Each structure stands twice: as C-alpha cells, then as structure tokens.
Amino acid sequence: MNAAAGWEGILDEGEEILWQGRPDGRFVFKVTHAFTFLFGLAFAGFALFWMIMASQAGGFFWAFGLIHFFVGLSLAIGPPIWSAWSRRHTWYTLTNEHAFIATDIPMMGRKLKSYQIDRKTRITFEPGNPASLYFAEEYRRTKNGSRLVRIGFERVEGGEEVYRLVRQIQKDDA
C-alpha cells in the first residue's frame, strides 16, 4: 500500500491517515494572559508618562523611553497575538499510530513532530467549539528554569470526532 502523497518515508508500514485538520487561528484572550497584559500595560503606561515628562525638557532625550514603551506593549498584547499567529501556521494529522503536529513559522522554519498514540497515552479532552485534545507533555526551558507544556490538537473544529478516533486507536492497541 502506498503512503498518502507527501507522506512517503514518514509513515510506518501499514500506517494510515485517519484525520487531518488545522487549529482555529482566531485571536483568543485567555485568563493566563491577564497578568502579562496588566504588567505590560503598566510598563508601557509608565514609559509613556516618562516620555511626556522628558519631552518637556526639550531635545530628544524622551526617545530613550520608546524601547520601554514598545516592550510594555509587546508584553501586553504579544502572547495572545503570538498564539493566534502560530496556530495559523500549524497543521495536524492523526494516523492509526501517531499524532503529527507540523508547523511552518516564518524565520523559525518547518518542523514536524510525531507522538505515539497507544493504550498508555494519557488523553485530556477539552470540549467546546472549537475543542482541544492533549496527548503529550514536555518541559520547555524558560529564563528561570523550565515549565511543563501540554501538547495536542488545540482549538479544532469537530474535536469530538478526533477524540473518538483517538479512543478507537487506544482500544485497537489493547
């Protein structure tokens, strides 16, 4: 049996594509964004206040506040914008053995990650429209150590059907 077009050399022998989709790329403000939004707004607000006060002294000294103003704005609105933008450059594929997440983010390049789906895979399903399905976790390095990040098919239309397919894969593996 031939692999699906574009999947030659990627899928294992006998592996079949069950579902393909893309995440919803709409802008979403989550509760987790609230702290960075408020901090960034305060940071940008103070920088704006400083620039106004410095401009009253004359000259271009006020311009040194611009970097702080834009850093504050990026902290305030960056996380939800980045989340939506990265989802717009993401594709999902579910086979009878793996879940694949492909990204093609400009300046970061193309990446394809695969995650084994079997009866031991812990699945977390978050219903909704769109729904999310998580099947892996990994630690990502931060400037203060690392944090645990859930990995899965986020914000997909018809998430209930994808969840049903994953549960069927798990049953078939038993």
Which pLDDT tens digit goes with each residue over 46-95? 999 999 999 998 888 899 999 999 999 999 998 888 889 999 999 999 99
Same domain, 164 and 107: yes
Closest by CA position to 100, among listed 3, 1, 2 = 3
CATH code where residue 133 lies: 2.30.29
Go through 11-40 and write b for each residue having 16 or more CB atoms within 10 A of its CB, e for each that does not.
beeebeebbebbbbeeeeeeeebeebbeeb
In-domain check, residue 8:
no
- pLDDT band of residue 29 (cuts 50, 70, 90) is confident
Asked if residue 133 and residue 61 are part of one domain, the reply reads no
Asked whether residue 120 falls in the same domain as residue 163, the answer is yes
Distance CA 72, CA 56 (A): 22
The total domain count for the chain is 2
Taking 90 as the threshold, does the pLDDT of residue 4 lie above it? no
Model pTM? Answer: 0.79
Q: How confident is the model at residue 135 (pLDDT cuts 50, 70, 90)?
A: very high
Cα 5 off chain centre by: 26
pLDDT at residue 1 above 80?
A: no
